[in-house]
Chain A
Amino acid sequence: MPRVEASALLHAADVVLDDRTVLRGIELRIGPGITLVRGQNGAGKTTLLRALAGLLPLARGTREIPADVLYLGHRPQLHRALSAAENLWFFARYRGYGSADVDGALAAWGVPHTSGPAERLSAGQRRRAALARLETEPCALVLLDEPFAELDDGAAARLGETVGRCAARGQAVVIATHGRAGLAADRTVRLEAGAIVGA
Chain B
Amino acid sequence: MRLRRAWLVAERDLRGERAQPDGLAAAVGLTAILVFVESLLVGPATAAATPAVASGLLWIALTLGAILAITRSFDRELEDDALESVLTLPGGADALYLGKVLAATLLLTLVSLAGTALTVLLLDLEVSLPGHLGLVTLGGALAIPPTVTLYVAISLRLRARALVVPLLAVPALVPQLIAASAGAAAAITGDAGGSFAWCALLVATALVSAIAGLTIGPAAIE
Contact = CB atoms under 8 A, between A and B. Distances in A.
B16 A79 contact: yes
B20 A77 contact: no
Nearest to B95: A94
Instruction: Give the interface residue-count category, chain B.
Output: 20 to 34
Interface string A94-105: 110000000000
B84 A73 contact: yes
B88 A81 contact: no
B122 to A, nearest CB: 32
**Chain B contact surface mostly:** helix
A79 B17 CA distance: 11
A117 B20 contact: yes
A80 B95 CA distance: 19
A12 interface: no
Interface in A30-83: 53-55, 67-71, 73-82
A71 B86 CA distance: 10
Given A82-B15, A117-B20, A67 B90 contact: yes
B20 A81 contact: yes
Interface stretch (A17-25, A85-93, A165-173): A85-93
A50 to B, nearest CB: 8
B80 A78 contact: yes
B8 A90 contact: yes
A165 B7 CA distance: 32
Contacts of A67: 90
Nearest to B79: A80
Interface of A: 53-55, 67-71, 73-82, 86, 90-91, 93-95, 117-119, 126
Interface of B: 5, 8-9, 11-12, 15-17, 19-20, 76-77, 79-82, 84-85, 87-90, 95
Given A55-B87, A71-B84, 5 more contacts: A55-B88, A75-B80, A76-B80, A80-B80, A90-B12
